[in-house]
Structure 1
Amino acid sequence: MKPLRIAVFASGQGSNFQAMVNAQRSGLLNSATIELLVCDKPEAPVVQRAVDAGVDTFVFRPKEYSSREQYELEILGELAQRRIDLIVLAGYMRLLTPTMVNPYMGRMINVHPSLLPAFPGKDAIGQALEYGVKLTGITVHFVDNGMDTGPIIAQQSLPIEAGDTADTLAARIHEIEQMLYPQVVAHIAAGKVRLAEDGRHVIVEQ
C-alpha cells in the first residue's frame, strides 16, 4: 500500500495534533505522514506546534471569505496539491458543508467526546454531566453531512466519577483521545478499516 498522506484540521491548542505527530515520529502510524495542518485561527497554539514539527500549514480567517463554501474550495485546492488521502479533524471548530465533506466521504474522520449516538454536537461533556450518566467516553467516526452521525469506527468508555467537573472529565477524555485516535489512523493506514456494504457499519481488522 502507498503511504497515507494526512491533513489535520484543528482550531485550538492542538493536543490531538501533537499526539498524531508524536505517533508518526515513533513509527506508530505505520507509513502514514502528516502533510498539512488546516487552521481557521492564525493565533491558535496548534499553528506553532505545526511549525515546530515541520508540517506545512494553511491558515485562514473565515471572515475574509464570502461563504463557507468559498474557503472550503480553497482548502480543497491545498489538499489536492498535496495529494491528501485522509482528513483528520482534531478540534476543528467550523461546521463543514457538503462542498468539503462529499469529496472526502469515507476519507474524513473525527473524534467526539461522548459515546455516540449519545450527546452529539457542542459541549458533549457538559451534556453528559447534566444528564447524570455514569459512563461516557469517546467515539472516532467517519464524517458525513450530519451532526456527528457518521459510521462509528471505534469507541472507548470512561466512568464518570463522583465530584467530576467539566474540567476534570475533559482532562481524562483528552488522555484517551490521544491514545485511541492515532491507533485508528494507524489501522486506516494499514488498510484494516473499511465500510460494510450497508454503508453504516465499520469493519476493523485486528
Structure 2
Amino acid sequence: MLRLVVLISGGGSNLRALLDASDDAEFPARVVAIGADRDAEGLAHAEEFGIPSFVVPFNAFDSREAWGDELVDQLRQWQADLVILSGFMRLLPPRAVEALSPALLNTHPAYLPEFPGAHAVRDALAAGVAQTGASVIIVDHGVDSGPIVAQRRVPVLPGDTEGRLHDRIKLVERELLVDVVLDIANGQLDLTTLA
C-alpha cells in the first residue's frame, strides 16, 4: 500500500479526489496525513475522513529554510512513500526538495512548460491560446520546472472566464493525479527514472 501525505493551502479539491479514490478498498494507496502551511479550508477533509492533519505555519519561522526543515520533520513522521503538493502555494526551500525528491509531486493548471507560476489560467486566457492543460510534475528547485510525469490538453472555449476554464482544468488535474498515484502504486511508473 502506497502511503501518501498531501500538502494543501486552500480547499483541497485534488486532495478530495485522492480521498474518494482511496475509499475504494481496491485502490492501492492511502492518504495517511494531510498538512498545510496555514489554517486551510481543505483541512476539513481530514476531519471528515478521519485522517490526521498538521499545520506548519510559514509565519512562525524566521526563515523559509527553518520552515522547510520543520515541514520535512513533520512529513518524515508519517513515513510517506509519496508527498503531493495539492494547491500548496508555497515554494519549498532547496533542502526540503532534496530531502523528498523524487517522491514529491505537484499538480499545475497548465500544459507545462507553458504558463508556469501562480496565474497559469489567467496567463493562458491573456495569451489567447486555443488550448491549455493540466500537468503533474516532480518538484525541483524551480517554479513548475520539474520533470513532467503526466499531462493532458484542455481546450479554451469561446467566452471562457478564468473561473470556468480553471474548473474544467481541475477536473483533468484530479484524473491525472489519481492515475499517476495508481501507476506508481502498481509499479508501472518509477519516478527515479524521470528525475
TM, length-normalised to structure 2:
0.94
Q: CA deviation at 1:60?
A: 2.8
Alignment RMSD (CA, Å): 1.5
| 1:142 aligned residue | 138
SS in 1 for 2:190: strand
Q: Cα deviation per residue 1:7-66 (whole Å; 9 max; x = unaligned)? A: 101010111111110000024642x11111110111x21111111111111113211111
User: Is it true that 1:94 corresponds to 2:90 in the alignment?
Assistant: yes
Query: Which of the numbers 129, 132, 149 marks the counterpart of 1:133?
Result: 129
Query: 2:190: which partner in 1?
Result: 194
Write out aligned runs for 1:101-180 (5 A). 101-180=97-176
1:5 alignment counterpart = 3
From the superposition, tell whether residues 185 and 148 of structure 1 become closer, same or farther in structure 2 (CA, over 3 Å): same
Q: CA separation in 1, counterparts of 2:17 and 2:52?
A: 17
Q: Which amino acid aligns with 1:186?
A: L
Q: Is 1:26 the equivalent of 2:24? A: yes
SS where residue 5 of structure 2 aligns? Answer: strand
Match among 69, 81, 88 for residue 73 of structure 1: 69
Distance 2:9 2:155 in 1: 28
Unaligned runs of 5+ in 2: none
Which residue number in structure 2 is paired with residue 203 of structure 1? none
Residues 196 and 36 of structure 1: CA distance in aligned 2, closer, same or farther (over 3 Å): closer
8 Å contact 1:8–1:34 — kept in the other structure?
Answer: yes
Q: Residues 80 and 144 (structure 1 numbering): CA distance in 2 closer, same or farther, change over 3 Å?
A: same
Find the residue that maps to 2:158 and give its secondary structure: coil
Q: CA deviation at 1:195?
A: 4.8
% identical equivalent positions: 37
Match of 1:16 in 2: 14
Contact 1:143 1:151 in 2 (8 A): yes
* Map of 2:55 onto structure 1: 59
Larger deviation, residues 21-30 vs 118-127: 21-30
Under a length normalisation based on structure 1, what TM-score does the superposition of the two structures give? Answer: 0.90
- Consecutive unaligned residues of structure 1, counting only runs of 5 or more, are 201-206
Q: What CA deviation, in whole Å up to 9, does each residue of 1:160-195 have, x standing for no partner? A: 001001011011111111222111111111121125
Distance 2:25 2:105 in 1: 20
Distance in 2, Cα, partners of 1:27 & 1:118:
37
* 8 Å CA contact retained: 1:29, 1:182: no
Q: Aligned partners of 2:42 and 2:123: how far apart in 1? A: 26
Question: 1:144-175 CA deviation, whole Å, 9 max, x = no partner?
Answer: 11111111111111110010010110111111
Distance 2:113 2:27 in 1: 27
Match of 2:36 in 1: 39
Contact 1:139-1:156 at 8 Å conserved across structures: yes
Runs of at least 4 residues off by over 3 Å? none
